């Protein structure tokens, strides 16, 4: 395991202020003391955390969704995902998001790890789950949520990545992290 002297890298908060309080995101600006004793400013986003789910169909294909993402003005292919509600456990969130977004419930759940997608400007963490033994029960989209549901084999997902059609960071990372937990299909 890689070992480092964290004391030589740690920055210490001297002052903090919240500069934006949005519905989802909270933006902060902190003054910090650097390891060399000087001070600097750090701006970052507080995020409640999220989950992403690799839902495995009986034939080994994975459930994806296509969703328009306003900041980039494009529709993206993504795995089902969503933010944690206050006080909600990560597994409860994963179960809720899978049901709401793509209409499945799963009998078996495996937590495969945590990713930090935006370490330079956010404290967001995304918990990665694999869901198997799926049963379709119908989606329950949130007000104003519009999705297209699709399924892809791992080979089809890889091809979509290579063609630049699948570029969502959480989806790419989750596919990599869960590789050893997915069934091998012919």
Q: Of 11, 88, 105, 143, which residue is the catalytic one?
A: 143
CB contact set of 114 (below 8 Å; sequence gap of 6+): 125, 126, 127, 128
Residue 17 known to be catalytic? no
SS3 103: coil
Q: For residue 5, give Cα distances in angstroms to 34, 123, 142, 148.
A: 15, 22, 46, 47
> Which DSSP letter does residue 13 get?
E
* Closest by Cα among 57, 51, 74, 50 to 157: 57
User: 154-162 and 169-177 are packed helices; what angle lies between their axes, rounded to 10 degrees?
Assistant: 140
Cα 28 to Cα 43: distance, rounded to the nearest angstrom: 6
CB contact set of 116 (below 8 Å; sequence gap of 6+): 124, 125, 126
Evaluate whether 20 touches 94 at the Cβ level (below 8 Å). no
- Catalytic positions, please? 143
């Amino acid at each position: 395991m890689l070992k480092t002297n964290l004391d030589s890298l740690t920055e210490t908060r001297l002052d903090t202020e919240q500069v934006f309080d949005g519905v989802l995101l909270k933006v902060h600006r902190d003054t910090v003391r650097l390891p060399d004793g000087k001070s600097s400013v750090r701006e970052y986003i507080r995020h409640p955390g999220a989950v992403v789910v690799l839902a495995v169909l009986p034939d080994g294909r994975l459930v994806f969704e296509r969703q328009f993402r306003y900041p980039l003005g494009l529709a993206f292919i993504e795995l089902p995902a969503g933010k944690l509600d206050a006080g909600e456990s990560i597994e409860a969130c994963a179960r809720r998001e899978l049901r709401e977004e793509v209409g499945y419930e799963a009998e078996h759940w495996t937590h495969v790890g945590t990713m930090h997608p935006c370490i330079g400007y956010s404290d967001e963490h995304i918990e990665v789950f694999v869901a198997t033994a799926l049963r379709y029960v119908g989606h329950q989209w949130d007000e104003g949520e519009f999705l297209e549901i699709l399924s892809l084999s791992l080979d089809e997902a890889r091809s979509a990545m290579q063609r630049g059609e699948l570029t969502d960071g959480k989806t790419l990372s989750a596919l990599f992290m869960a590789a050893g937990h997915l069934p091998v299909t012919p």
